[in-house]
Amino acid sequence: MMTLREFVRSTPFFIIAHRGASGEAPENTLASVRIALEGGAKMVEVDLQVSHDDQLMVFHDNILGRTTNGHGYIKNHDASELRSLDAGAWFGPQFAGEPIPFLHEILDLIKDRAYLNLEIKPLQEDPNALQTIAKAIGIIKERGLQAYTVFASFDHHALAAVKEIDPTLHTCALNVPGDTRLPSEILTACHADAFGCSIHELTHKRADDCAEHQIPWGVYTVNTVEELHKALAYGVSAVVSNHPNALASP
């Protein structure tokens, strides 16, 4: 498998599975990632959270109630408690008992099969966020996946922290709603390698700036063929979708 840098340079367009194939299975679970991989997803996006005992978990929300039978903040529960929760039944009975995965489980599942897009939460949400980022990088490097991973965040200070740990790591700056700077200005400020924004934030100014500066860029969340065509008209490099398998063969 070619490195992420080589892949992006040689691939005009690709689809990123949002929290796995989250339109087909419960988000951020091994099931959703498996379905995305089975459908041929080239990149899988998942979210990073940390347990009370500093275990790296794949989960989106700060609180547990939306996608599990648990309650309260994820950071107030040890990993063993989190692993005992049901993170699948809310989506459908066939997924009952699906656990919250550890980051290393996701890494082991996608290794040699797809690229990883790991979203980092804002630094202010966790006083130990810098240590969490360093630990995540360590686990990724242990598995030799640093050249196949991109770290994405709305918190550009977090991306700068990634680069401080290792300047060779890939980062993607997600546009903060209301930020009117051009992608090239944002990337210069935080030393990121790629840019992402909502499909509702697509403008010709952003598209022209990315083209002029040869910036890889993508939009989220694209779930219909109509949205896909809109994104392609702006010349995006990638789209993030809950239905990656369907969009791959519309």
**Which positions are catalytic?**
18, 60
Cα distance between residue 108 and residue 114, in whole Å: 11
Local structure of residue 98 (DSSP, 8 states): P
Instruction: Find, among 17, 4, 247, the residue nearest to 147 by Cα.
Output: 4
- Report long-range pairs for 107-112 (Cβ below 8 Å, ≥24 apart): 107/139, 107/140, 107/143, 107/145, 108/143, 109/30, 109/33, 109/34, 109/37, 110/33, 110/37, 110/44, 111/143, 111/145, 112/1
Paired with 241 in beta bridges are 17
